[in-house]
Structure 1
Amino acid sequence: MSVLTKQLIYDIYVRLLHLNEQKANTSLQQFFKEAAEEDVIDVPKNMTSIHVIDCIGQHEPINNTGIVKKMNLSKANVTKISTKLIKEGFINSYQLTDNKKEVYFKLTRKGRQIFDLHEKLHKKKELAFYQFLDSFSQDEQNAVLKFLEQLTSRLEAEQTDDTSEKPVK
């Protein structure tokens, strides 16, 4: 592979990252629009809260630690978000009868509305993505899959390295 090809791949990768950041901002606006069309009036104000609701809905019963692991968020961040979601009536917290130490979460009816809407939007996006992938041969799809798997592993390893580095005092 030539240096020029590698440079083009890198440039497109950086462009993809920037587009992804911009898309994250428009996704929330799109969610608000869809919610209004579905007569869902009360909606969390950020995508991370919506994704926490989605995580809880997919894995009930789940506790803070489970959400931290599944979403790769800090425990403090999950605590802050879950406290807000409880206050806003999207989730409830409870304890199991045999384990009074752990607090688990489940969706309220209001939270279930958000979960269902989020699922519906994800299904639409997933189908559109599959249609896009159909424009590639099986060999090309396998190459894309290998690339994305290795890139993801590398980025996860870098993130782990970054978070494990403690400041020197």
Structure 2
Amino acid sequence: MKKEDQVLMGFRDLYNKIVWLNKNKMEDSLKGYTSSEVHCIEYIEKNADSNVTKLAESFYMTRGAISKLTQKLIKKGLIESYQKSDNKKEIYFRLTAQGKVIDKIHEDLHKEFQERDKAVFEQVTEEQFDSMLSFVEKYSRHLDAVIKKQGLDMKSE
């Protein structure tokens, strides 16, 4: 097997193990909320003036799908929409108090999982981190270019 195949299979396997290990705890602690809903809440909390376009680009989803998702979150009382006084056209989102509670639970779970995996990351050198980050950035830029070349740019949907 070629090394590039080993790397991609390794990433996929790692990702699947992390998801599998975290799944039960996430589902128990965030009962009644989908992964998409929780990650949308997280994005809105971490990014000021979140709107449908920014969310769609971040999640690689259509604006229509994000509109449905945000409407569900509004109905559940987790986010609210607002407009700026200088731009009545654009609609933005922010968390409600209830949305902040869900975000805090999610954040605490991630801290718990990071603590669980800390022993591995403590052994990684600065150079190894830099090398891994460099690879991830290069690969991401390559995929961005492929997406754009294929006309799949989220901004055009």
User: If the length of structure 2 is used for normalisation, what is the TM-score?
Assistant: 0.77
1:112-127 to 2 correspondence within 5 Å? 112-127=100-115
Residues 132 and 54 of structure 1, relative CA distance in 2, 3 Å threshold: same
**1:38: which partner in 2?**
none
- What is the number of equivalent residue pairs in this alignment? 153
Computing the radius of gyration from Cα coordinates, the structure with the larger value is 1
What runs of 5+ residues in structure 1 fail to find an aligned partner? 36-41
Residue among 66, 86, 97 paired with 1:109? 97
Higher relative contact order (CA 8 A, sep 6+): 2
Are 1:147 and 2:135 counterparts?
yes
Q: Give structure 2 stretches of 5+ with no counterpart.
A: none
Q: Among the aligned pairs, what percent are the same residue? A: 24
State the AA in 2 paired with 1:80.
K
Pick from 6, 23, 30: which aligns with 1:11? 6
Distance 1:125 1:161 in 2: 37
Instruction: Provide the secondary structure at the position in 2 that maps to 1:49.
Output: helix
1:44-123 paired onto structure 2 within 5 Å: 44=33, 46-123=34-111
Across the aligned residues of Structure 1 and Structure 2, the Cα RMSD in angstroms comes to 2.8
Shift of residue 110, structure 1, vs aligned partner? 1.6
Per-residue CA deviation, residues 85-141 of structure 1 (Å, 9 max, x unaligned), is 111221111222332221121112221111111111223334455542221333333
Q: Is the 8 A contact 2:50 2:92 kept in 1?
A: yes
The 10-residue stretch of structure 1 (119-128 or 49-58) with the greater mean CA deviation from structure 2: 119-128
Is the Cα contact below 8 Å between 2:74 and 2:80 reproduced in 1? yes
TM-score normalised over the length of structure 1: 0.72
Asked if 1:133 is matched to 2:121, the reply is: yes
Indicate conservation of the 8 Å contact 1:43/1:114, yes or no. no
Report the AA paired with residue 25 of structure 2.
Answer: Q
The superposition leaves residues 42-72 of structure 1 with CA deviations (integer Å, 9 ceiling, x where unpaired) of 641x211111011111124322122223333
> 1:152, CA displacement in angstroms?
2.3
